[in-house]
Amino acid sequence: MIVVDDLHKHFGGFHAVDGASLSIEKGSITGLIGPNGAGKTTLFNVIAGVLQPTSGRVTMDGEDITGLPPHELFHKGLLRTFQIAHEFSSMSCRENLMMVPGDQSGETLWNTWFGTKRIANEERALRAKADEVLEFLTIEHLAEQKAGQISGGQKKLLELGRTMMVDAKIVFLDEVGAGVNRTLLNTIGDAIIRLNKERNYTFVVIEHDMDFIGRLCDPVICMAEGHVLAEGTLDEIKANEQVIEAYLGTGLKNKDKVGA
Amino acid sequence: MDLLNAFIALSNYVLIPGIAYGSQLALGALGVTLVYGILRFSNFAHGDTMAMGTMATILVTWLFQSMGLSLGFLPTALLALPFGIGFAILLLLGTDRVVYKFYREQKAKPVILVIVSLGVTFIYNGITRFIIGADDQNFLDGERFIMSARDFKALTGLKEGLAFKTTQGITIVTAIIVVALLFWFLNKTRAGKSMRAYSDNEDLALLSGINPERVVMITWIIVAALATIAGTLYGLDKSFKPFTYFQLLLPIFAAAIVGGLGSPVGAIAGGFVIAFSEVTITYAWKKVLGYVMPEGLEPDGLVQLMSTDYKFAVSFVILLIVLLIKPTGLFKGKSV
């Protein structure tokens, strides 16, 4: 579905992504792991249009999407979440969700005055959808809360909810589990699996929690120093010599410590 | 009776002018704060945007006056105001297309945009002087007073008169309408919410499919309207002189920063804080104190804390105090 071909992103002399090539299958939940500084988030940023690649190509269903701005990728069904949850802090959770499907007719000045009926219909539909999403994520009690005031884990759920407001095709999740407690993490995991099964979402997940990766992801891609090191099931990855080296350095060959 | 006279004198020289001036500053500061919130730079060209919009309004006013159009006791300028706003919208959208868009695409740092806007200021300023001249222009017509001091004295029999100028009345009413409309827009409409979302978290707004160019365009349109209205009201109330509008930048920025840059409520509060500080500190209190103080203790001097020449220093001092003590402003804008 997504094919990344020999992607480079350089910051001055630092090669954050250095010739990464990978492909993501439709309908999969692909895990992306690797030690800190392996270039995972930079790769996400380049694919999602936040950063321009230095060279290389990204295609989605055969179409070249290299370097398209985020809001255009959004309308193609490519969404991402952030490592540190983002939210519109002064708006309620429901309003946060309702903001998502951009390019509504209400966003032009003309319609604000002369298309009020159309806007009202759209807003009603959005509101119903937002409530449905909140219920799906079991946070309907937070609908009226200001998004700036909810907990970190709930913000992550809200981020996931954001992707459900449109018909996303592929969602890039950047460390959904970071700083989230076990119970909430399970809720997030359940939601991801349900979205994958029931709505055919494709996911790419950056995560350091190997239990979480093991439960959700197949295949798993391991990156190090800006390129792809290995791909396979989590067990295959764990057994891979190169991966162990990347995580623990040469000299230490204790396989059990990978992902511990 | 003395207390009543004191209150009337206070209203006449401090309260009413302060509210009118505060409304004008608030409208100006709203424009500055919106640009800061959405485009993320301090727009030094705002004063001269006000001058340009007002100039267009004046030219159309003169045209209407020569055609014999008028609004009765209201100034003809109100009729010309929409044309002035239209001109300012075209001007700002044009400037954005030619100048700011380039720097936005380069992802230029805010400080670069600030300097760019300073350049735009000089260009606007030159154009304004070239077209309408550097002198004072008078474009006020209609009734001068809703209530003149003499009428008030005759009506109440008090010693002090209360003058309420038409322009002051118009300023206050217009400001209330404009502010109500703006807040309704920002809080209730989809377009306004997309502006707030963009201001709150740009990355997320972009990744939520909000079109940034459209948000920027709507912002410029609203800023153009606010600037022209503020400028025209100020011009009607005082007089129109291009250089005065450049000088107005200081109290306007002071107002926006005191309230908290990026916060519309703050801009309004800041406008009134600055206006009342200026007016009360430069007002000669002799008359009011003469009524209030017990016999024999009336002041001999003017009891003016500072000459009106120093009124801009007042905004400066307030600005410094706020930046030292609470850099995010009264209403927690983005820190400066």
Domain ranges of chain B: 20-249
Tokens of residue A241, six digits = 């010599």
Q: What is the pLDDT of residue A211?
A: 86
Q: What pLDDT digit, counting tens, does each position of B261-308 carry?
A: 888 999 999 999 999 999 999 888 888 888 888 888 878 888 888 888
Residues 6+ apart with CB under 8 A from A156: A81, A85, A176, A180, A184, A188
Q: Considering only A12-26, B35-49, B208-222, B289-303, which range has the smallest mean pLDDT? A: B289-303
Q: Do B197 and A50 touch (CB under 8 A)?
A: no
Q: What pLDDT digit, counting tens, does each position of B159-190 carry?
A: 888 889 999 999 999 999 999 999 999 988 88
Number of domain units in chain A: 1
Q: Would residue B189 be called left, alpha or beta, if left means φ above 0 and alpha means ψ between -120 and 50 degrees?
A: beta
- B332 pLDDT higher than 80: no
Instruction: Return d(Cα B262, Cα B196) in angstroms, integer.
Output: 10
In a domain, A12, yes or no: yes
Query: Of A35, A83, A38, whose CA–CA distance to A205 is shortest?
Result: A83
Place of tokens 């350049």: B119
Q: What is the pLDDT of residue B334?
A: 65
Q: What is the pLDDT of residue A177?
A: 78
Instruction: Please give the share of chain A, as a percent, with pLDDT higher than 70.
Output: 94
- B335 pLDDT higher than 80: no
Domain that holds residue A180: 2-87+166-257
Distance from CA of A103 to the nearest CA of B (A): 6
In a domain, A219, yes or no: yes
Strands of the A14-24 sheet, one edge to the other: A14-24, A2-11, A55-60, A63-64
In a domain, A70, yes or no: yes
* Contacting residues of B for A146, CB less than 8 Å apart: none
Burial, B23: exposed, middle or buried (Cβ in 10 Å; 0-12, 13-18, 19+)? Answer: buried
Q: Do B185 and A102 touch (CB under 8 A)?
A: no
Q: Helices B166-188 and B264-282 sit at what angle, rounded to 10 degrees? A: 160
Taking only residues 47 to 86 of chain A, the set having a beta carbon closer than 8 angstroms to any beta carbon of chain B reads 48, 50, 69-71, 74-75, 79-80, 82, 86
DSSP letters along A31-98, please? EEE-STTSSHHHHHHHHTTSS--SEEEEEETTEE-TT--HHHHHHTTEEE--SSPP--TTSBHHHHHH
The CATH number assigned to the domain holding A38 equals 3.40.50.300
Cα distances (Å, whole numbers) of residue B176 to B26, B27, B193, B268, B276: 11, 10, 21, 11, 18
Q: Do A104 and B190 touch (CB under 8 A)?
A: yes
To the nearest 10°, report the CA torsion of B229, B234, B239, B243: -90
- A171 pLDDT higher than 50: yes
Q: What pLDDT digit, counting tens, does each position of A202-229 carry?
A: 999 988 888 888 888 888 999 888 888 8
Distance from CA of A42 to the nearest CA of B (A): 15
Q: Do A119 and B204 touch (CB under 8 A)?
A: no
In a domain, A179, yes or no: yes
Instruction: Return d(Cα B53, Cα B57) in angstroms, integer.
Output: 6
In a domain, A202, yes or no: yes
pTM: 0.82
Tokens of residue A98, six digits = 């309702």
